[in-house]
Amino acid sequence: MPIKRSTDFSHIVRSMKSENALPLMEWLTLKKEIIYGIGRAYFHQNKEIELSVAQSIQLAIDNIDSYVKDQAFEHWFIKLFVDECEKLRTVDLSDTNKKEMKELLSFLNIPTRQMIVLKHFGGYSYVEISKILNQSEHAVKRHVYRGFKYIRACY
């Protein structure tokens, strides 16, 4: 049964509580482009992204009780995924421009790096990022602006 594009994720949450990940997997299929876009900011190889996704799925199932009903499910899962990417992040040396960008991003503090990745690789708005990372919209804009100012100065 395909996932509806509504904001009601109660069926996914219920199935995850009974350790059934199929509805979550169907939802992830719909969000694959966004997830992989974010993952590519951390990793070059798809297998590394897939490992992060797999670990995020397990983490989501294990911690489904921490999901708050009024919170957007997508934001909750993306936050888990970004945190997993941060943990598993490795340096990729294959493409010079990507290498330089990843190196420059590595010098930023973790919140700033996460915000830049979500904004420019994940395509999220400042408002969405503020909800995902539980920060004010102003703080997100400030971090992104200062992060790019630093990157431009170094590049």
For the record, the structure tokens of 42 come out as: 């951390």
For the record, the structure tokens of 105 come out as: 């991003």
For the record, the structure tokens of 70 come out as: 């009024």
Determine the CATH number of domain 10-154. 1.20.140
Of 123, 100, 120, 98, the C-alpha closest to 43 is 98
How crowded is residue 69: how many other Cβ atoms within 10 Å of its Cβ? 8
Cβ-proximal residues to 93 (8 Å cutoff; 6+ apart), any chain: 99
DSSP state of 67: -
pTM of the model: 0.61
Task: Render each residue's pLDDT in the chain as its tens digit; 155 residues.
Answer: 444 444 567 778 888 777 777 888 888 899 999 999 999 888 888 888 988 998 898 888 888 888 877 678 888 999 999 988 888 774 443 444 667 777 888 889 999 999 999 988 888 899 999 999 999 999 999 999 898 888 877 76
